[in-house]
Each structure stands twice: as structure tokens, then as C-alpha cells.
Amino acid sequence: MSDELQRIMAIDDPYLLLREVTTRLADAQQEVTELARLRRRVVQDLHAQGLSYAQIAEKAGLSRGRIHQIRHTGPAPEGAFLGRGAVTVATPLRRDDERGRTVVAVDDVSSGKRLEDLARSYGLGVTSEHVPVTGEIDLNREGLVVVCGPRMSQEMWDTYAQDPVLRWERAEDGPWTVVDRQTGTVHRSGQDSDPARPYDVGYLGRLSRPDGRGSLLALAGIHTQGSLGVVQLLANDLNALWGQVGDRRFSTLVGVEYDPETSEPQSVELLCPLYRHDEEASS
């Protein structure tokens, strides 16, 4: 029996005991989920290296049937792309100057909800919060997925500025763009082009936290439709993204053709490679 379990069992106050047991069960379940995810990933990696299930079983001291079961059941390894154990999905609040109140954009609500559903489908615990209109948000936390562009938060502006390849910039005529410093390409939303068209650009990256002790997943569109496109990319291609970058720092851009009536993405494509920041820093 662990010391922690003995401590909890010794609590006399029934209400405190109930709180402690509930918290411990939640923590234990998250730990079990992540251990199962890690176990499945190890089996998948060994199998991908050319080992048979029988060979893995023999070396691990387990049955072939057990190894096969581990390979095909339990939480998928690519869920770790979003976070481990639990994630917090943060979406921005906006200021409606005409009505003098704080609002949430419909597309931001949709992006946040779809991210939450995606995380839950991989066995992750999920909480949600908003980036206030002041833009102030504590980024020094585990498991953050932030849907917020640089113009809405100084904290996020500073975080995006770390990116060694993709840079947010205002064009001379005013609209926001994203510049690929590797190629010199300036990516611009179709809404801000002449003639205008239902096309937007979304950013996806895993960037360092301000304290340097971890990372966060950052999503943003030049307009809100770009964020929806990034979420669709994650929902459709998370396994491929995980296979290319794992949990390393990276960034990429997504082109989104969308329905002008509903903002729903109709087609989504990568506009550039998944730039791994460790490789860019050493080049």
C-alpha cells in the first residue's frame, strides 16, 4: 500500500475524504490512460522496426496474444499530440464595441468544442476556458491548447514571435498575413484579397512556454475560418502529424477553402512543410 493511499485512508473528516478520494481517482485514471498509451506506442514502434508480435512477446515476457491485444486496443499514441492526461482548450473572448459587451465568435465556439471532442476521443481529460479581451493568459501550464491569434493577446504575440520560420505580419495595406521566411512566401486570407474569395490561412504550432519548462499547442487563423480548418486537419490527420513531429516543437500553415454561408471548411491542405524548430535552429 502506497504512502499516499495510507494518508487518504487515515482522513477522519468524511467530506475531506470524499474530495481527496475523488481527486486521487481522477489523477490515477489519467495516469493509467497515459501508461496504456505509452505501452501501445512501444509495441507499435517495435513492430514498425520489423519485429513480429511473437518476437516482441518473447523479449517482453508476455504472450503473443497479449502483445497483439495491446497493439490494437487502448488509447491511440497519437492522442499525445494534443497533450498527456488532460488538456485545457482556451478560446478568445472578443469586444463588441457597438453593443459595449464581451462576446464569443461562433467559429471560435465551434473550434473549441471540436477540439474538446477530439481530445476526449483519445481518452484525455478536458477543461475549457477563455482568453479574456485583455489578452492576459497564463501560458506556463501543462496541456494548453490555445486558439488565439497574436493580435488578441500580447502573451500569444510573444509566443508566436519565437517561431524561427513563420512570422505574423501586417501588410502595408493593413490586413494580417503570415510570412514563410524559408521561402519568402506571404500568405494572405482570401477575405483580404481583391477580388475577395472564401479562403483563409490557419497556423498550427507547438511552441515553447514563456518559462521554458514545456510547450503549448497554438492554433490561429488570419480569420476565424482558418482556425476551423486547422481543427479539421487535426481531426483528419492526427496520426500523420504525430508520426512526423511527435511531441517536438514545430509549426505549419493550412489553406482552407470554406463555405461562405456557414464558414465550414470544404477543403484543407498544408501550405508548407511541418517545420521542426530544432532542425531550423541548427541549420
Cell of 198: 472564401
Residues near 241 by beta carbon (within 8 Å), at least 6 away in sequence: 78, 81, 233, 234, 274
Summarize the confidence of residues 237-243 as an average pLDDT.
92
Residue 51 predicted with pLDDT over 90? no
The whole-model pTM stands at 0.81
Cα 109 to Cα 106: distance, rounded to the nearest angstrom: 5
**Cα-Cα-Cα-Cα dihedral of 235, 259, 95, 135, to 10°?**
30
> Cell 494572405, residue?
188
Banded pLDDT at 109 (limits 50, 70, 90): very high
DSSP state letter for 205: E
For the segment 5-40, what is each residue's pLDDT rounded down to a tens digit? 888 888 888 888 899 888 888 888 778 877 888 888
SS3 118: helix
